[in-house]
Structure 1
Amino acid sequence: MSVIPRINRLFGDDGRCFNVAIDHGFFNEWSFLSGIENMKKAITTVVEANPDAIQLSLGQAMLLQEIPGKQKPSLVVRPDVANVYGSELPSYLFSKLIDQAVEQAVKMDAACIVVNLFLIPEQPELHASCIDNINRLKPACEQYGLPLMIEPLVMLPNDEKGGYMVDGNIQKIIPLVRQATELGADIIKADPCDDLEMYHKVVEAASGKPVLPRGGGKASEKEILERTYALIQQGASGIVYGRNVIQHENPKAMTRAFMAIVHKNEDVNTAMRILEEGSYEQTHR
């Protein structure tokens, strides 16, 4: 079955997508809950800003899907749970799929499913588990016409940085992006590289599949908007941001600022003005 109908639900006429990730509670990590303590409120706030998609676990997906009307964002489902996000890695690492993940996602009317492909130093078993997860999901995704988004994540050693830290080495990112493509990804969700001017090489490695850079940890407004603009100019097909939206004091205005860059090719100054106007409205209403 073709994935094109659901791909078209995710991406605008311009071929771009802004997916807001609000699946962080899945990972049993205290710091990830900031801004999403009240999930219904967090989802409603983001929906009002009208991004293209919202990424959730199946346990929280109904909070989006029960909202009435035709115009709400599409649902992206996260079916794999992992324990790699703490400041210290546990003695046993895992990345496990929920049962019948694709069937459950389809029943929830998801437009896409997203799964990790971790590459953590000296943890080959975890990488192998991720490949097993992908190989289990791909045939079912094909059967039901559900796009498979693969998230290749190259991480720094925990003893070097401590915690969930990205390795921006393009020579590590590109092979993992290519591996994700070879494994059957319909969409790639990849980290930015250290030199943003080289990100077109990451896009090239995806062999025509849309690449949506990941936001990662919370950054300053100017920094994340500048990064977003640079990535779009390098050929990215959109973004997948979570904490840089939900941990902002005005998630709705932040979403609108990102949407302006992604879909209207606005520059950073314009996006900052949208953000400032939204914050002013929130303060004075």
Structure 2
Amino acid sequence: MSKKIGWIGTGVMGKSMCMHLIKAGHQAFVYNRTQSKADELVQAGAVWCDSPAQVAAQADVVFTIVGYPTDVEQTILGENGVLEAAKPGTIVADMTTSEPSLAKRIHAACAEKGVAALDAPVSGGDLGARNATLAIMVGGEQKTFDAVSDLFEIMGENIRLMGGPGAGQHTKMSNQILIAGTMIGTVESLLYAHRAGMDMDEVISVIGSGAAGSWSINNLGPRIAKGDFDPGFFIKHFVKDMGIALAEARAMNLGLPGLALVNQFYIAAMGQGYEELGTQALFKVLDSMSSGGR
């Protein structure tokens, strides 16, 4: 059955995710800070709205996927935000990677107005968004999850309710911690192969099918090999995610030295002006560092 969908955030991933819902027959009401980034969705039948509140006033389910926790808070709880206009019974699903504590605050604020909330961050990057193969990690109540699971299934393949409010974000932090480790391994492995005079694509085809195989080597490795550092996921957003994970770890009195080290390398990448590149551009940083900046 067709639903009225609100979609806020039409960037690298959000546009593809919303497009899947439109193609599945759902009516979409969309907002993005840069209107032109929603043009393709509007051409496909989405209705442009001038604010998150205007989106929420017309939708039964509102999805948000924006940049930073401050953006999430403003979009949902702020002036002209989703909660200002959402009707009782509306479901708000934030798919941004954000803070577990904020997810809990949003859930509580929504509950006071009779609105249900889920934190539902995703993993899979731009490829997963385009191919509708995302992993979707959800926190919230079972009945709310059940009410929108059909929509999640249009956007992803591995969808799971992980627990109460904030549990989706905690799961995403576990995901990002693991990715940080595999990214440094991917980059160092390919940099070694490159310096040894090997064909990086050939190396990837062998090691990517063995015990060293990972999503990073098999999906981002070929991009590195051809010098493609365009973003499937921005470095600036990965630094944000690692910062959240490190802060949560400190609150647990938990040390994560591997994550802390990789975080420093990515901060160096931002210092070199690479914040708008994809996470695979860590290769450029380590290549420069190990060659004395040549």
Question: Normalization by structure 1: what TM-score?
Answer: 0.33
Higher helix share: 2
Question: Normalization by structure 2: what TM-score?
Answer: 0.32
The answer to which structure, 1 or 2, has the higher relative contact order (CA under 8 A, 6+ apart) is 1
Which one has a bigger Cα radius of gyration? 2
